[in-house]
Structure 1
Amino acid sequence: MFAEQLESGRLRPSFRDAEQLPEAEAVFLAVSPGDADWSHDIVKLIAGNAMCQVIINQTVGPVGAAERLRNQLREAGSATALVAMPDLIQEGNAFQTFTRPESILLGCERGEGEALVRELLRPFNRRKDVIQVMTLREAEFAKLAISGILATRISFMNDMASLSESLGVDIDVVRVAMGADSRIGEAYLYPGCGFGGAGLDQNVLALVDALKARSAGPGLLAQVMQTNERQKEVLFRKFWQYYKGDVAGKRVAIWGAAFKPGTRRVDNAPVLKIIEALWAQGVEVAVHDPKALPELEAWASGRGPLQLCDDPYEALAGADALMLVTEWKLYWGPDWRRLRVTMRQPLILDGRNIYDPDFVRGQGLVYRGIGRV
């Protein structure tokens, strides 16, 4: 689709070092959080563009960032409106969440820029009006708060999974019961080996920093992040316990390195902490992932030895354990017989609870999940 738009002339590239931006009525800012200074440079360019009516800031930053950009425009004497429309797109499912959004947060002051933004988004806002209008700060804060509650649900379920194991309770049964309650719902109730990615981590950390700066104390969200970091090592701990600490020289196969299915990124991914723990104990590591191997290779360079495999069963050869870390669909229905005969030891460590424990055990394998019995 991107190539088609380029060829048709509807989409024209402009590069970062351009001395001026192409003339346009609306300009979207969606740079990475670490590139915030570049946002200010762009605003300086736009300030002298009489054609531009609105700047739509999608760059996620601390609350108040959009106001600073707006003030910069005013100081430059520009009449261009600035609105905040924080990015709610889900990585790995970006096209669907852009074309059929459940919600669009639109921060604008006194309605400035609202009419033009609504017209731009009209093709994606037809089933019902999903645009929620609020102030600049409210839009920025709402985005961070959404990330905070999602992270909290994940870490809560991971705590419950840990408790369920000690009680002999299957967390999956509990999850279904919780999700059936309309006050709770089903989303983000899946325990696992932790969440990663630049976005969610940075958003929650931005909230923690804001709480600390206002002397409110980090409270719950700081604990959420601590729980998540601890959870990233849960598969290693299960591996260690199974072998009673005698793990040096063993071989572990890992399926999935990306922080979530549908992306090639490994930013803060659980696999990084798992690999570091395995390296520290002298364990040989082989990894398969359909997209993330180049980024994983770049991260591992100079850190330790890592076998990168183009075929998932290649990683299993002679393995003493299989760790399922990212729930790519190609891993959901493996060839169990081939898996059993390829591995040296039949230990399956399911970090996303995608397999049926009884079925896996019926294949002659040892199963360990997250809160499963």
Structure 2
Amino acid sequence: MKITVFGIGYVGLVQAAVLADAGHQVCCVDVDAQKIEKLKQGSIPIYEPGLTPLVKEHYEAGLLHFTTDAAEGVKFGEVQFIAVGTPPDEDGSADLKYVLAVANTIATHMDDYKIVVDKSTVPVGTADKVANTIAATLAARDAVIASAAKQSSAGTQPFAVVSNPEFLKEGAAVADCMSPDRIVIGIRPGDDEEHITKVMRELYAPFNRNHDRMIFMDARSAELTKYAANCMLATKISFMNEMANIAEQVGADIENVRKGIGSDTRIGYQFIYPGAGYGGSCFPKDVQALIRTADGIGYNSQILKAVEAVNYRQKEKLFGYLNHYFNNDLAGKTIALWGLSFKPKTDDMREASSRALMEALWSVGANVQAYDPEAMEECQRIYGSRDDLHLMGTKEATLKGADALVICTEWPNFRAPDFDLIKSQLSNPVIVDGRNLFDPQVMQGKGIAYYAIGRGLSVEPKI
């Protein structure tokens, strides 16, 4: 099939590359001319395992095409993916200006039937807004477009709008796209369900072979499904962080609690690891957006607001441990920081716990020596050059002259460090572990003061 993808960011590029890998021809459209030129040269704008070779291979094979020419993209495919960003507005709601701009662009240039697929994460009702935008632009053009759709209760239409949310995990996006847990297709009432179903089944056939992963529903349910999924996962994280905070007060070890509740198959072990708060491009934004959606209809979403509040508070924990250890005197101290990205296998620092920690340290006059396997350039881009931030070439280099070590991201090469080296290099033998990588008893045996989330010296029984 011939497919067009508008918006060659994280979601759009991964989706385009995987569709090309399945044998589809994909035209990738983006307004950023510099990004398009770099992609043609084999330079990938994001770090995602497995993505670079996939893009290079299929661009060279002619299955991937990159352009800034919107008219070319619209003409190319019957299926038009919208995968542009939906950044949070000032009030936290999702900003749809880029989505609706693409809808207008498609309507401006289309001369035959199109299925427009919302791949971006969008609030409930967006498919209808996209359809209204397309219809209004076509009317303004006074366009007469032959429809490939069959006669439906709403009459013959020259387009359909489908909600097809993505469920990708950063760091595993290529694998998730190739082997999805589910493929949700939301169809608007009145659009030609039979034709849309046929086309979308053909599109996703290469990823739907072992068993039927496709779930068809109405568009509004599909839009809510995306938000509900991310908010449920965020809720599990905040719940476990709340339990870790309680564990610290009552003298319990949250790791034992995690094992005890995770063994219950109704709960399971996924997303019940306490830490320094969730971040990235999805959970914070999607929780906020669903809260604003609920507020907009007059519903007080108490659970979601609590999830968000716990997460904001959790990002203050690492600074709090340091402040406690140094008796509220961090001015002039140098803190070694391992991990900048919000999670391993990505260079994404959006809403990362490292940012909250560094900014808190800088506010009291402390210095940071940081290392991350992938996010150093991103950190430099965000913060620029400053005297109180030193990006080091190795994790060991961060230790020299530092007063303490903080672990913000659970990269695999942080899991088995040389503790004797850590102890010898630090001015104070203290580790603040935001990801609970080590055993408190082992750290005690090595003479290292160890603060973790609901473990180690963080636990101070009050009852």
Alpha-carbon shift at residue 364 of structure 1 (Å): 2.5
Distance 1:82 1:193 in 2: 39
Alpha-carbon shift at residue 363 of structure 1 (Å): 2.5
Distance 2:390 2:79 in 1: 47
Q: Deviations over 1:249-287 (max 9, x none)?
A: 211111001111111111111111111111122111111
Partner in structure 2 of residue 6 of structure 1: 59
Distance 2:283 2:306 in 1: 15
Distance 2:276 2:98 in 1: 35
Q: Deviations over 1:110-146 (max 9, x none)?
A: 5251221111111111222111111111011111111
SS of match in other structure, 1:13: strand
2:282 matches 1:282? no
Q: Which amino acid aligns with 1:39?
A: V
Equivalent runs, 1:152-301 vs 2, <5 Å: 152-301=235-384
Asked if structure 2 preserves the Cα contact closer than 8 Å seen for 1:104 and 1:132, the reply is: yes
Specify which of 352, 370, 389 is matched with residue 306 of structure 1: 389
Specify which of 29, 36, 40 is matched with residue 96 of structure 2: 36
2:133 matches 1:72? yes
Deviates more, 1:283-292 or 1:68-77: 68-77
Alpha-carbon shift at residue 49 of structure 1 (Å): 2.9
SS of match in other structure, 2:96: helix
Asked if structure 1 preserves the Cα contact closer than 8 Å seen for 2:334 and 2:367, the reply is: yes
2:117 matches 1:56? yes
Q: Which amino acid aligns with 2:223?
A: E
Alpha-carbon shift at residue 18 of structure 1 (Å): 3.6
Q: Which amino acid aligns with 1:59?
A: S
Deviates more, 1:251-260 or 1:50-59: 50-59
Counterparts in 2 of 1:290 and 1:10: CA distance versus 1, 3 Å: same
Q: Which amino acid aligns with 1:98?
A: C
Partner in structure 2 of residue 147 of structure 1: 230
Distance 1:24 1:276 in 2: 46
Distance 1:133 1:229 in 2: 36
Distance 2:322 2:200 in 1: 52
Deviates more, 1:34-43 or 1:319-328: 34-43
Q: Which runs of 5+ in 2 are unaligned?
A: 1-53, 88-94, 139-144, 146-156, 457-463
Specify which of 187, 194, 209 is matched with residue 108 of structure 1: 187
Q: Which runs of 5+ in 1 are unaligned?
A: none
Alpha-carbon shift at residue 81 of structure 1 (Å): 1.8
Alpha-carbon shift at residue 52 of structure 1 (Å): 4.7
Asked if structure 1 preserves the Cα contact closer than 8 Å seen for 2:85 and 2:99, the reply is: no
Partner in structure 1 of residue 459 of structure 2: none
Asked if structure 2 preserves the Cα contact closer than 8 Å seen for 1:23 and 1:52, the reply is: no
Alpha-carbon shift at residue 50 of structure 1 (Å): 4.2
Counterparts in 2 of 1:342 and 1:330: CA distance versus 1, 3 Å: same
Asked if structure 1 preserves the Cα contact closer than 8 Å seen for 2:330 and 2:364, the reply is: yes
The RMSD of aligned alpha carbons is 1.8
Alpha-carbon shift at residue 89 of structure 1 (Å): 0.7
Alpha-carbon shift at residue 292 of structure 1 (Å): 1.0
Q: Which amino acid aligns with 1:168?
A: G
Asked if structure 1 preserves the Cα contact closer than 8 Å seen for 2:405 and 2:430, the reply is: yes
Asked if structure 2 preserves the Cα contact closer than 8 Å seen for 1:197 and 1:265, the reply is: yes
The count of corresponding residues between Structure 1 and Structure 2 is 372
The TM-score normalised by the length of structure 1 is 0.95
Asked if structure 1 preserves the Cα contact closer than 8 Å seen for 2:366 and 2:388, the reply is: no
Identity among equivalent positions (%) equals: 35
Partner in structure 2 of residue 90 of structure 1: 169
Alpha-carbon shift at residue 320 of structure 1 (Å): 1.5
Alpha-carbon shift at residue 25 of structure 1 (Å): 2.2
Asked if structure 1 preserves the Cα contact closer than 8 Å seen for 2:338 and 2:408, the reply is: yes
Partner in structure 2 of residue 354 of structure 1: 437
2:106 matches 1:46? yes
Partner in structure 2 of residue 317 of structure 1: 400
Distance 1:72 1:246 in 2: 57
Alpha-carbon shift at residue 149 of structure 1 (Å): 1.1
Distance 2:328 2:297 in 1: 44
SS of match in other structure, 1:198: coil
Asked if structure 1 preserves the Cα contact closer than 8 Å seen for 2:238 and 2:310, the reply is: yes
The TM-score normalised by the length of structure 2 is 0.77
